[in-house]
């Protein structure tokens, strides 16, 4: 599996994918819908799938002396590594805003979602949707990715709109907590987001393996 992952990172991946990882730092931009940073990380991964299709990467991978499910596993591990890398930038940005800039007026007056642990939870859900709708959708055919990506765009921006709306609902203001306010709730929401994302990704991987086994390349 190490060799498959190395192939994914050095041969199949587009350079754009790596350039989009630091978009997680958009969590530092005041007055910006911070969850869009998760979308941009996924957009970078999309470029690798496009690059892989144009170079017949899937056919090449199947011709290797490995099981077809290992081809799927390699793609999913690569995707999760890129998502985790972008997520680290988001965590760094949140920690900076929760500590260094916790009293900054430009962040305190922000009408949009604050960069807190609830925002990170929603970023995890967006990553999970990408793995389900796009990566899982791709492996239904192993060549078509336009419709799966459009489905992901719809799902991702639905999450963004809902997340940006919830903290304006009376009684849910704590979701937009600044710094370490309502810290216990924030940690619980983040844990829930990580668990949901992990479950979605695992189920998507299992289904993708089944679909890919049925494809005659």
Cα 181 to Cα 114, 116, 117, 173, 190: the distances in Å are 12, 10, 11, 11, 14
pLDDT exceeds 70 at position 217: no
pLDDT exceeds 80 at position 105: no
Closest-CA residue to 217 (of 83, 63, 50, 7): 63
- Per-residue model confidence (pLDDT) at position 130: 97
Calculate mean pLDDT across residues 137-163. Answer: 93
pTM for the structure as a whole: 0.94
Calculate mean pLDDT across residues 86-90. Answer: 97
- Give percent above pLDDT 90 in the chain: 58
Reported confidence tier of residue 172, pLDDT bands at 50, 70, 90? confident
Which is higher by pLDDT, 176 or 120? Answer: 120
Give the burial string for 100-123 (b: 16+ CB within 10 Å, else e): ebeeeeebeebebbbbbbbbbbbb
Token reading at 99: 């500590």
Distance CA 88, CA 83 (A): 9
Mean model confidence pLDDT for the chain: 90
- Per-residue model confidence (pLDDT) at position 17: 95
Look up tokens 């609902």; give the residue. 169
Calculate mean pLDDT across residues 140-154. Answer: 91
23-76 tens-digit pLDDT = 999 999 888 899 999 999 999 999 999 988 888 888 888 887 888 898 999 999
Which one-letter DSSP state was computed for residue 28?
A: G
Closest-CA residue to 131 (of 149, 154, 157, 158): 149
Nearest 5°: the CA angle 31, 188, 36 is 30
pLDDT exceeds 70 at position 4: yes
For 29, the 3-state DSSP assignment is coil
Calculate mean pLDDT across residues 177-203. Answer: 92
CB 214 within 8 A of CB 78: no
CB 202 within 8 A of CB 132: no
- Per-residue model confidence (pLDDT) at position 171: 85
Q: Where are the domains of the chain?
A: 2-214
- Give percent above pLDDT 70 in the chain: 100
Neighbours of 84 (CB within 10 A): 12
């Amino acid at each position: 599996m190490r060799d498959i992952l190395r192939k994914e990172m050095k041969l199949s991946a587009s350079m754009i994918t790596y350039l989009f990882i630091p978009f997680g730092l958009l969590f530092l931009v005041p007055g910006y819908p911070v969850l869009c940073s998760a979308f941009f990380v996924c957009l970078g991964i999309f470029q690798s799938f496009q690059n892989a299709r144009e170079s017949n990467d899937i056919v090449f991978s199947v011709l290797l002396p490995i099981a077809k499910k290992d081809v799927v596993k390699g793609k999913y591990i690569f995707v999760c590594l890129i998502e985790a890398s972008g997520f680290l930038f988001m965590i760094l940005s949140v920690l900076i805003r929760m500590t260094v800039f916790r009293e900054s007026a430009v962040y305190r007056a922000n009408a949009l979602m604050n960069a807190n642990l609830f925002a990170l939870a929603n970023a995890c859900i967006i990553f999970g949707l990408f793995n389900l709708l796009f990566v899982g959708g791709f492996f239904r055919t192993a060549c078509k990715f336009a419709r799966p990506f459009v489905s992901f765009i719809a799902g991702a921006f639905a999450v963004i709109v809902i997340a940006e709306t919830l903290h304006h609902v009376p009684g849910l203001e704590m979701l937009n907590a600044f710094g370490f306010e309502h810290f216990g709730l924030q940690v619980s929401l983040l844990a829930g987001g990580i668990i949901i994302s992990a479950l979605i990704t695992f189920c998507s991987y299992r289904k993708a393996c089944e679909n890919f086994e049925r494809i005659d390349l």
